[in-house]
Chains A and B, each alone.
Chain A
């Protein structure tokens, strides 16, 4: 780890997310090798890297979709390495998916309602939500926050791509998130929708930290305070956005190759 990373992780034990030597193998292929990352509560960080750098695998290890082959993961000090995904989510971790993972047969409102219900009591309730159901109004607020109120009674299968991406974010903000993993939230969005996305991300309450995987530098570097570069399943460089942008090695590896 270089000095910037040490500076950023100075809070030590108070870290929101702490990965130590996380490795993930798929057969003989190491998708992640010895990844060590510390993120402060409320910190906003971008993870950059070319395709196959291990960014999404990193997310899958953190949420438990694929548990790591070795290493430990701590979430707000608690060792969650062997927790199933739902236990991590109930502790305040959230994620979005690169390819929208929604419930196409249900309405927008029901999608968000499920997200609110998933992190509260009564998941097995046989009673329908009443007129004054608190989670139903929480779902209403979230639907409004991502500008989907107009289509809230439509089935998700009928939504446009941009609307599905916004719903994807709403699902990750249900309940009381403490830390969110955004996996390419801007993928396939129009410039207007990107601006809305930036607004949603920057107006999140300050205590909610996140890691964002994003290829669009205009989006990524406007909404984060630190950057981690990954390459071939390893941490390649960590630093402030401007340091990473001007780093010659990074330029050559990622920004240089005719990307912009």
Chain B
């Protein structure tokens, strides 16, 4: 690349090129984001153990999985249905390499060895799946990743040597160190919150870094990206690798949360749940998957009581989720975030109209 130095094009001397604005965090100026962060941090003071784990920790774990799909679909235009499978693979690997009640299968490694191993293997698994999927576009990507998810589900059901068949692996050990049981409700909540925050900010940060920008370029126009010097397929595979790592982190948290992993956790239906979560929340911004996960978990937890009160079969909570999904896809192409944004825009333009000339200033937004 020696050429890059000798002949930089300046069609017209740019005397006073403006410095680019600092590409800061949009959240810093948003008071709502600070309030949400504060509430999440003091949650153990407000919520009991049930809410802390069954609602909020579970929401965050599902949110991280859906975030990995949001990264691929929202920035890369690749709808992968195997994100839950990657998380499940990671969960299985924690159980297989670590300590569990199935001593004949688990290797008994300490968690600090088993977890990096699980993350590495799950990332490799997802990257290989991605390398297959990037050769296709659109609906074929969905089909290939769904096929990988289905194949993994049936494989875990039938393989007894490693995955222990349909019973799965039970009583998986969780970390204890510094005198703390990290699976106790409050420490575990903070671990999950920390990992979720890390993944959220990583995705947010990368979306404005060269890798993330180029991924959005690949989404918008892969052919032009190649004509700008980008190896489009390599970029897509790298995106799968990153998303797989994020999903793998969620898998580790998931197996610690339930202390067991079985084929039921990696079923095709569960794979599709992740897609529903991401779409309901909105796939254009990293906050969407977490909003979608919260709605999903609240419905899953409370729809039963609600339906029973109405005299309906409580097991039909999926009907509510399905109807909600239909409504959101029908009203907004960008999930709940999209609804919120269009509502805000209406408020703003309404305010602008009523206050006359102020409208011109924000008109082009």
CB distance from B288 to the nearest CB of A (A): 16
A252–B231 alpha-carbon span in the complex (Å): 44
Q: Which one of B8, B224, B227 has the highest number of Cβ atoms from chain A below 10 Å of its Cβ?
A: B227
> A122 interface residue, CB < 8 Å from B?
yes
Interface centre among B3, B5, B11, B22 (most CB of A within 10 A): B11
Cβ–Cβ < 8 Å partners of A203 in chain B = 11-12
Q: Given A105-B216, A105-B220, A119-B228, are A124 and B9 neighbors across the interface (CB < 8 Å)?
A: no
Chain A positions within 8 Å of B9 at CB level: 142, 145, 173-177, 204-205, 208
B219 interface residue per 8 A CB criterion:
yes
Q: Quick check: is B19 within 8 A (CB to CB) of the other chain?
A: yes
B20 near A114: Cβ-Cβ < 8 Å: no
Query: What residues of chain B lie closer than 8 Å to A153, measured between beta carbons?
Result: 21
Q: Which of B67-118 contact A (CB under 8 A)?
A: none
Decide: A102 near B229, CB < 8 A? Known: A120-B4, A125-B210, A144-B12. no
User: How many chain A residues touch B (Cβ–Cβ < 8 Å)?
Assistant: 62
Q: In the complex, what residues of B have CB within 8 A of residue A128's CB?
A: 23, 205, 208-209
A122-B210, A175-B229 known; 14 other A-B pairs, CB under 8 Å?
Answer: A65-B223, A65-B226, A103-B217, A106-B220, A115-B228, A123-B231, A124-B210, A126-B206, A126-B211, A131-B22, A144-B12, A145-B11, A174-B9, A175-B4
> Across the interface, which residues of B come within 8 angstroms of A119, CB to CB?
4, 228-229
| Number of chain B residues close to chain A: CB under 8 A | 45
Instruction: Tell yes or no: A216 within 8 A of B by CB.
Output: no
Q: How far is the CA of A153 from the CA of B216 in the complex (A)?
A: 16
4 pairs of A and B residues whose beta carbons are closest in the complex: A118-B229, A118-B228, A145-B11, A141-B14
Interface residues of A in 64-107 (CB under 8 A from B): 65, 84-86, 89-90, 92, 94-95, 97, 101-106
Interface flags, B125-155, vs A, CB<8A=1, else 0: 0000000000000000000000000000000
Chain A, residues 214-255, CB within 8 Å of chain B (1/0): the string is: 000000000000000000000000000000000000000000
**Quick check: which of A32-40, A46-54, A132-140 contacts chain B, the rest being far away?**
A132-140
CA distance A128 to B221 in the complex (A): 22
Which residues on A sit within 8 Å (CB–CB) of B229? 86, 89-90, 118-119, 123, 175
B214: contacting residue among A117, A171, A174, A208, CB under 8 A: A117
User: How far is B224's CA from A104's CA once the two chains are assembled, in angstroms?
Assistant: 12
CA distance A16 to B236 in the complex (A): 32
Which of A63, A124, A140, A173 sits near B11, CB closer than 8 Å? A173
Q: Which residues of A contact B21 (CB under 8 A)?
A: 153
Chain A residues contacting B211 (CB-CB under 8 Å) are 123-126
Q: How far is the CB of B40 from chain A (nearest CB, A)?
A: 25
Residue on A nearest B232 in the bound complex, by CB:
A86
- Does A200 have its Cβ within 8 Å of any Cβ on chain B? yes
Counting CB contacts under 8 A, is B18 at the interface? yes
Is A28 an interface position by the 8 A CB rule? no
CA of A127 to CA of B23 in the docked complex: distance in angstroms?
12
CB < 8 Å A-B pair total: 161
Question: In whole angstroms, what is the CA distance A101 to B150 when docked?
Answer: 37
Q: Which B residues from 1 to 33 make CB contacts under 8 A with A?
A: 1, 3-12, 14, 17-23
Cα A128 to Cα B11 in complex, Å, equals 27
Choose from A136, A144, A173 the contact partner of B14 (Cβ within 8 Å). A144
Q: Check if A110 is an interface residue, CB within 8 A of chain B.
A: yes
Question: A84's contact among B14, B20, B23, B231, by CB below 8 Å, is which?
Answer: B231
A178 interfacial contact with B, CB 8 Å: yes
Contact between A95 and B17 (Cβ–Cβ < 8 Å)? no
B232 cross-chain contacts in A, Cβ below 8 A: 86
Residues of B contacting A12 in the complex (Cβ-Cβ under 8 angstroms) = none
> Closest approach, in angstroms, between the C-beta of A153 and any C-beta of chain B?
8
Q: A121 within 8 Å of B by Cβ?
A: yes
Distance (Å) between the CB of B72 and the closest chain A CB? 16
Do the beta carbons of B226 and A86 come within 8 Å of each other?
yes
Evaluate contact between B14 and A103: CB separation under 8 angstroms: no
B300 at the interface (CB under 8 A from A): no
- In the complex, B225 has a CB within 8 A of chain A: yes
| Interface membership of A149, Cβ < 8 A | yes
Q: Residue B17 contacts which of A65, A104, A121, A141 (CB distance < 8 angstroms)?
A: A141
Q: A125 CA to B264 CA in the complex, in Å? A: 38
> B226 and A85: CB pair below 8 A?
yes
Q: Are A145 and B10 in contact (CB under 8 A)?
A: yes
Hey, which chain A residues are within 8 Å of B10, CB to CB? 141, 145
Q: Are A123 and B230 in contact (CB under 8 A)?
A: yes
Specify which chain A residues have a CB less than 8 angstroms from the CB of B213 in the assembled complex: 106, 110, 113-114, 117
B5, B20, B224: which contacts A103 (Cβ < 8 A)? B224
A56 within 8 A of B: no
B272 CB within 8 Å of chain A: no
Give bound CA distance, A104 to B221, whole Å. Answer: 9
Residue ID in chain A nearest B226 by CB atoms: A85
